[in-house]
Amino acid sequence: MDFFKILSDIEKVDAEVYERFDTRRAVFKNLSGMGKAVTAATMPAVLGTMFRKAYGQTTTLSTDIVNTLNLALSLEYLERYFYQAGIDRNLFTGNDLAAITIIRDDEIGHINALRAVLGSQAIADPTATAFDYTAGGKLTPFASAALFLGNAQAFVDTGVRAYKGGAVSLMSNKAILTAALNIHSVEARHSSHIRTMRRGGVSVAGADGGGTNDMMPKSWVSLQEGGGPVPAVTSPVYGAGSPATSYPAEDNVTQGGINVQTNSAAPTGLTLTTAAASEAFDEPLDAATVKTIARNFRSAAGVALGLFN
């Protein structure tokens, strides 16, 4: 058995194989330390131990990862049942119905993935009864397609910031972090499409505009969105988290300690407006602030379940 050829072949399809074993030097040092004990007969057992350590999946997740993924799962349920309610109430037809259905199905896919990763540690499906999309009577999201889309924008923009804010808690597990980032980018695309629908479609003016309470939003987050569709409820979606130094509001123009609007390194003549500088970057949101926002939309049943606690 040519051990070195095995490693060479694996390296061709996994360039990080030595990092998984710690380092190339550590692999060889450990083997040489075994001396004559490593024989043709014992090599399979040695390899098995090494590869289980390098590639084996563990069922034990840290508390931070479990809490972060369960918060994400709770938000996915919030969106999944909201889109289903819009579909059931016949608020959309044609291409708009198809789009909302696709977004609903994406949320179901996210739920399935998160539940698979969490296993027995996943929260139970809270069902639609756990949510009150009127925010205690402050909103009427099912009165029209326009009002529904306003709520949808706030929900998906919260999710985008939540996934970004939770990334730091997932960094110890590369596979889970990658999966979360894959979901994050899809949620951002949902946001862009919902905003386009709010303008009345891609042929309607407004991609560079705005309006009262952001009724004709840009296809991306701009400044603090005028407080969002319903400022009394949605302004925290675009405001600062806690602490604000780590989770600034969406109108932030400082990245990596550099003011991207006014820094001296900018080429002459290429000045940015405050809006443009803020639009170039999205901001994360901390779990506590995300939960505060989401608690507006839980019913008595959701409270009893401890949803978003």
Q: What is the pLDDT along the chain (309 residues), one digit of tens a residue?
A: 455 555 555 555 455 555 555 544 454 455 454 444 445 554 455 444 544 454 444 457 999 999 999 999 999 999 999 999 999 999 999 999 999 999 999 999 999 999 999 999 999 999 999 999 999 999 999 999 999 999 999 999 999 999 999 999 999 999 999 999 999 999 999 999 999 898 876 555 444 444 444 556 888 999 999 899 889 999 999 999 999 999 999 999 999 998 988 876 666 667 788 999 999 999 999 999 999 999 999 999 999 999 999
Q: Which two tokens stand for residue 211?
A: 């309006």
Number of domains in the chain: 2
The reply to whether 107 and 207 lie within a common domain is yes
The reply to whether 161 and 231 lie within a common domain is yes
The reply to whether 119 and 203 lie within a common domain is yes
Cα distance between residue 108 and residue 76, in whole Å: 8
The reply to whether 88 and 153 lie within a common domain is yes
- 77, 126 Cβ separation under 8 angstroms: yes
- 107, 83 Cβ separation under 8 angstroms: yes
Please name every residue paired with 165 in a beta bridge, in sequence order, or none if there are none.
none
* DSSP letter (8 states) at residue 259: E
Identify the domain containing residue 46 by its residue range.
3-55
Rg over alpha carbons for the chain, rounded to the nearest Å, is: 24
The reply to whether 116 and 254 lie within a common domain is yes
The reply to whether 268 and 238 lie within a common domain is yes
Residues 6+ apart with CB under 8 A from 119: 59
